[in-house]
Structure 1
Amino acid sequence: MRAADLLAEGVAALRAAGLDGAAGDARVLLAHALGVPRDRLTLAMADPAPDSAIACFRRAIAVRAERVPVAQITGQRAFWGHSFIVTADVLDPRPETETLIEAALEQRFDTVLDLGTGSGAIVLSLLAERAQARAVAVDLSQAALDVAARNADALGVAQRVIFQHSDWFAAIEGRFDLIVSNPPYIGTPELAALAPDVRVHEPRMALVPAGDDGSGLAAYRVICAQAVRHLTPGGWLMAEIGHRQGDAVQALFHASGLVNVGLRHDLSGHPRVVLGQRKL
Structure 2
Amino acid sequence: MAELPATLGEALAAARGRIPAGEARMFLREVTGCTAAQVAAYPERGLAAEQAARYVELLDRRAAGEPVAYLLGEREFYGRRFGVSPAVLIPRPETELIVDLVKARIAPEAAPAILDLGTGSGALAVTLALEIPAAWVTAVDLSPTALAVARGNAAALGAQVSFVESDWFAAVGAARFDFIVSNPPYIVDDDPHLAEGDVRFEPRTALASGRSGLDDLTRIAAAAPAFLAPGGWLLMEHGYDQAAAVRVLLQAEGFVAVASARDLAGIERVTLGRYPLRGVDAGARQA
TM over 0.5, yes or no? Answer: yes
Which of the residues 207, 215, 218 maps onto 1:218?
A: 215
Give the match for residue 95 of structure 1: 93
What does 1:1-280 correspond to in 2, within 5 Å?
1-14=6-19, 22-36=20-34, 40-47=35-42, 48-51=45-48, 52-108=50-106, 110-157=112-159, 160-173=160-173, 174-192=175-193, 194-199=195-200, 201-209=201-209, 212=210, 214-280=211-277
In the TM superposition, residue 127 of structure 1 has moved relative to its aligned partner by 0.7
In the TM superposition, residue 3 of structure 1 has moved relative to its aligned partner by 2.4
Residue 229 of structure 1 aligns with an amino acid whose one-letter code is A
Give the match for residue 281 of structure 2: none
Equivalent-residue separation in structure 2 for 1:228 and 1:267 (angstroms) = 29
Equivalent-residue separation in structure 2 for 1:265 and 1:8 (angstroms) = 41
Q: CA RMSD in A?
A: 1.6
Could you say if the C-alpha distance between residues 50 and 189 of structure 1 is closer, same or farther in structure 2, counting changes exceeding 3 Å? Answer: same
In the TM superposition, residue 30 of structure 1 has moved relative to its aligned partner by 2.1
> Structure 1-normalised TM-score?
0.89
Deviations 1:200-239 (A, max 9, x none): x110100112xx1x11000011101111111111111101
Give the match for residue 19 of structure 1: none
Residue 71 of structure 2 aligns with an amino acid whose one-letter code is I
Could you say if the C-alpha distance between residues 254 and 197 of structure 1 is closer, same or farther in structure 2, counting changes exceeding 3 Å? Answer: same
| Maintained 8 Å contact 1:4/1:46 | no
Runs of at least 5 residues in structure 1 that lack an aligned partner in the other structure: 15-21
Residue 259 of structure 1 aligns with an amino acid whose one-letter code is V
| Maintained 8 Å contact 1:116/1:137 | yes
| Maintained 8 Å contact 1:114/1:137 | yes
| Maintained 8 Å contact 1:138/1:165 | yes
Deviations 1:81-134 (A, max 9, x none): 111111010001111111112112111152110000000001101111111111
In the TM superposition, residue 25 of structure 1 has moved relative to its aligned partner by 2.5
SS in 2 for 1:12: coil
Equivalent-residue separation in structure 1 for 2:229 and 2:169 (angstroms) = 15
SS in 2 for 1:13: coil
Give the match for residue 284 of structure 2: none
SS in 2 for 1:67: coil
Runs of at least 5 residues in structure 2 that lack an aligned partner in the other structure: 1-5, 278-287
Equivalent-residue separation in structure 2 for 1:193 and 1:88 (angstroms) = 15
Residue 251 of structure 2 aligns with an amino acid whose one-letter code is H
Higher Rg of the two aligned structures = 2
| Maintained 8 Å contact 2:7/2:47 | no
Equivalent-residue separation in structure 2 for 1:218 and 1:257 (angstroms) = 19
SS in 1 for 2:17: helix
**Percent identity of the aligned residues?**
42
In the TM superposition, residue 193 of structure 1 has moved relative to its aligned partner by 5.3
Residue 221 of structure 2 aligns with an amino acid whose one-letter code is C
